[in-house]
């Protein structure tokens, strides 16, 4: 894994990006938690920096952010 990939998996970077999308698009945390397969309370702890995701969860969050970016940029066909 190269340095850029490690930075992209950094919990702080991932969670800050996820927070921006939650706020910008008024996403519901419960829906995000369901997609990630975690309890809403766990997501809340992630977003409040009280807990960090595992590497596996970080990868799922990174994929979610990637998809949100693609939607935002119009790169996903309807």
| Cα–Cα dist 74/47, whole Å | 26
Name the band, by pLDDT with cuts 50, 70 and 90, for residue 7.
low
Task: List, for residues 15-71, the tens digit of each pLDDT value.
Answer: 999 999 999 999 999 999 999 999 999 999 999 999 999 989 998 999 999 999 998
User: What is the structure's pLDDT at 8?
Assistant: 60
Beta-carbon-side half-sphere exposure of residue 29 (alpha carbons within 13 Å):
14
Class of domain 3-72: mainly alpha
pTM of the model: 0.81
Q: Where are the domains of the chain?
A: 3-72
Give me the phi and psi of 49, to 5 degrees please. 55, 35
* pLDDT band of 10, cuts 50, 70, 90: confident
What is the phi-psi region of residue 28: left when phi exceeds 0, alpha when psi lies from -120 to 50, beta otherwise?
Answer: beta
């Amino acid at each position: 894994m190269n340095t850029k990939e490690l930075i992209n998996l950094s919990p702080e970077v991932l969670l800050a990006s996820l927070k921006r999308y939650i706020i910008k698009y008024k996403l519901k945390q419960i829906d995000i938690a369901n997609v990630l397969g975690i309890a809403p309370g766990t997501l809340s702890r992630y977003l409040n920096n009280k807990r960090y995701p595992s590497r596996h969860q970080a990868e799922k969050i990174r994929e979610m952010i990637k998809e949100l970016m693609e939607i935002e940029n119009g790169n996903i066909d309807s």
